[in-house]
Structure 1
Amino acid sequence: MSHANLINNYFNPNSVYTEEDFRRRFRMRCHVFERLLRDVQQINPYFQHKLDRAGRPGFSPHQKVSVALRMMTYGSPADSMDETHGTSESTCLDTFQQFCDTIVQVHKDKYLREPN
């Protein structure tokens, strides 16, 4: 249900919130979010939508990237994500670590340089 709300609120053509609302809440444009999502999905299988151990659908890639970006953008603690995204503290921390490692792996050659 959390995934459906996220998609309906931000990513559908007739979404609840506007592009400006998205930019204010995520601190980036929607196309940048989609690009980050696509990049991490291509490199890291953790960001693929799959079933959990109970056979139910796990967290979607949109949810995982949203959690990681929200923690990074606002400095939100991992345990606060349970209320808004329905993810446990350990899942949030794992997602954040996977996201950061993947982004560094994908973009290090272009954006990261040795200090001078």
Structure 2
Amino acid sequence: MDAAMVYQPIKEQRQWGGSIVGRFYKPRNRAMTHANMMNNYFNSNFVYTEDDFRRRFRMRLHVFKRLLHDVHQVNPYFQQKLDRAGRPGFSPYQKVTVALRMMAYASLTDSMDETYGISESTCPDTLTELCNTIVHLYKEEYLREPNQEDLDRLIRKA
């Protein structure tokens, strides 16, 4: 990845304060949900097949892995860090998975909390970061303006 391609996240006022020492904490067990997800889809003796993965994520596994690698390289949001209370944050796999599942199924944040342990306030941030990073990374290659040939083909299909 070119050093010039480093993504600069948009600075916005956060609605929530995040993990703060002394605040109420729901023990979501991030490590367990990460391990479960890895055993289901990504480890060598996974539970679900690549066909299951494609049906559930609406993409092939190798495309997911490329996307994960690319966003992890350019956007620090997708690197695992310690939260404000000193606990390990969500893994890149968890963040990308949640954002893709929300897009693929228009999933509610409550279902993401139950399944992946990512809170209601973190889910929209993760989705926004992934979408902005995808546009940043792939705009030139995949999000170009249509040319005349593209427009003619679309008109023929209409």
Output the CA distance in 2 between the equivalents of 1:17 and 1:112: 32
Provide TM-score, normalisation by structure 1.
0.95
Structure 2 unmatched runs, 5+: 1-31, 152-158
Write the mapping of 1:8-19 to structure 2, written as runs, cut at 5 A.
Answer: 8-19=39-50
More helix by share: 1
Point out the structure with max Rg over C-alpha: 2
Which of these residues, 4, 19, 25, is aligned with residue 56 of structure 2? Answer: 25
Greater relative contact order (CA < 8 Å, ≥ 6 in sequence)? 2
Write the mapping of 1:1-116 to structure 2, written as runs, cut at 5 A.
Answer: 1-114=32-145
Percent identity, aligned pairs only, is 72
Letter in 2 for 1:111: Y
Provide TM-score, normalisation by structure 2.
0.71
After superposition, give the CA deviation of every residue in 1:83-107 in whole Å (9 maximum; x if it has no partner): 1111111100000000000000000
Partner secondary structure for residue 128 of structure 2: helix
- Residue 80 of structure 1: CA displacement? 2.2
Q: How many residues are matched?
A: 116
Cα RMSD between the aligned structures?
A: 1.1
